[in-house]
Amino acid sequence: MEKKAIIIGGGVAGLSAGIYGQLNGYHTEILEMHSLPGGQCTAWKRKGYTFDYCIHWLVGSSHGAFHDIWMETGALNQDTVMVDPETYVTMRMPDGEDFIIYSDIDRWEGYLRNLAPEDELPIARMCQDMRKMTSIQPFEKPAFKRNLWDYMAMFRKSAPALRLFQKYKKMSLDSYFQKLGFKNQVLKDRLLGITSSMQDFSAIAFLFVLVWFSQKNAGYPVGGSMPFTMRMAERYKSLGGSFTGKSRVEKIICQGKKAVGVRLSDGTLKYADYIIGACDLHALMYDMLEGKYVSPQIEKAFAEWPLFSPIVQVS
């Protein structure tokens, strides 16, 4: 008999779970409190303008394991047009001058050397760190299919990047720039401007972003967020998946330590063999599960981990 899975949340994670569930022989139903799929990967139109604050760039836009996932889930297809910008960001500084971060590492290195020739050494060190990060790639196999040889091959291929990861894994972007020891005051002010706008960025995250851009693997899918998620939704429905919008899950029904169903805000009860939470973790653990299954690790994370600065867009 076909097993059924209920998926709470119709964002990119929920759609992905539904698609792979259908591909593996499960009957799935996605319950989404909004009327449309997409979650935070969304956009809307108002007075002839499109408001889209989600996809600025997409990791896996051209190749690699992430690209395979986007193609399998229908988020991208052969007809999707990708744009690879020449610049990652252009910042207008308080003095009126622009500071450019080019997508190409070599080009950005040349730009920085022209701006601050006396800082040739720290500039070269930073750009070399970025080049070393190109050696690391996500596993193509899921964890349950990997063997010892897969891990050894990954370690051998990614050794330069893994050493950097160990070195900078707990370092903020601001501390990284300070550690490099730039001398040119103009360049220092420009880099300070970057860190003030990327307060939650780690050094590793910054290095990775420039690597992806330089590899032309962080492009922008023309059309943006809404077509991206609509393609996923179409793929899901074509596989026989069921999407139910305007359905807020209030409670996960448990028998012992096993989740067996959900109760919606209108009182509707739905049952399944598996319940997958592809939604806000705090709402899942403390509201839907009433705080009964919170592990010490999760409790500590909510109590002590610093929050990523939220972004609110009114449009």
Count of Cβ atoms closer than 10 Å to residue 226 Cβ: 19
pLDDT at 69: 96
Cα separation values, 84 from 61, 127, 297, Å: 9, 20, 40
Which residues does the chain have with pLDDT short of 50? Answer: none
Could you say which architecture CATH assigns to the domain 4-55+224-304?
Answer: 3-Layer(bba) Sandwich (3.50)
pLDDT at 169: 85
pLDDT at 199: 64
pLDDT at 201: 78
Q: Where are the domains of the chain?
A: 4-55+224-304, 85-215
pLDDT at 185: 92
Long-range residue pairs from 20-24, CB within 8 A, at least 24 positions apart, any chain: 20/73, 21/241, 21/276, 22/236, 22/239, 22/240, 22/241, 23/72, 23/239
pLDDT at 218: 95
Overall size of the chain counted in residues: 315
